[in-house]
Amino acid sequence: MPLVITSSTTRGRGRPAVLAAAAARGLLGGLAGAAAMTASQRVERAVTGRPASHVPGRTLLLLAGRSPSDTDRPAAATLAMVVATSAALGALRGVWRASGLLRVRADVAQTVTRIVVDQTLENATGAGAPPRTWRSGEGVVEVLHAVVAAVATGAVVERLVDPVLESRRGTSSH
């Protein structure tokens, strides 16, 4: 059911309540994005023979104060990191949608945000290497999976959240 502002949803609560509801619904979209990205990664690895990356899991363990080695393959932590990041981005996507950032622009924004968040956490913790050091083609694969997550997230968020807070202020002057 789309998020619709009525006098009952805004009475005494206003924009913060609407944004919180949009974020909560967006989180559901983020979970769909995590599922789609995980599925696309499995299909891609089956086709290309590329091994699974455990960098997200090692990143999560490092953030939690643990010290995984480069040979650790923490599958549960990797899945948890993918799901947590996707859920957080889904919540943000819900806020974007309620505020009027829609469709392809939101897909692009989410894709870029996903890559920036992943790379920041992975490189800041020392779990990952900067993209410029990756083997040829790895960056393309990462972007494609981030796009899959963004499109899947958007498909759900666009059904659950209406752009009810979209403003027309500032369109003719700044």
For the stretch 107-148, pLDDT in tens is 999 999 999 999 999 999 999 999 999 999 999 999 999 999
Q: DSSP 3-state helix, strand, coil percentages of the chain (rounded to 5)?
A: 70, 0, 30
Q: Is residue 50 part of a domain?
A: no
User: Is pLDDT above 50 for 6?
Assistant: no
Q: Is residue 59 part of a domain?
A: no
Q: Is residue 146 part of a domain?
A: yes
User: Is pLDDT above 90 for 46?
Assistant: yes
Q: Is residue 55 part of a domain?
A: no
Predicted TM-score (pTM) above 0.85: yes
**Binning pLDDT at 50, 70 and 90, where does residue 160 land?**
very high
Burial class (CB in 10 A: 0-12, 13-18, 19+), 143: middle
- Domain encompassing residue 19: 7-43+74-160
Instruction: State how far the Cα of 137 lies from the Cα of 36, in Å rounded to an integer.
Output: 21
Q: Is residue 63 part of a domain?
A: no
Evaluate whether 151 touches 87 at the Cβ level (below 8 Å): no
Instruction: State how far the Cα of 20 lies from the Cα of 7, in Å rounded to an integer.
Output: 17
Q: Is residue 170 part of a domain?
A: no
Q: Is residue 19 part of a domain?
A: yes
Evaluate whether 91 touches 24 at the Cβ level (below 8 Å): yes
Q: Is residue 1 part of a domain?
A: no
Looking at the structure of the chain, the number of domains it has is 1
Residues in contact with 5: Cβ distance below 8 Å, sequence separation at least 6, in sequence order: 18, 164, 165
| Chain mean pLDDT for the chain | 92
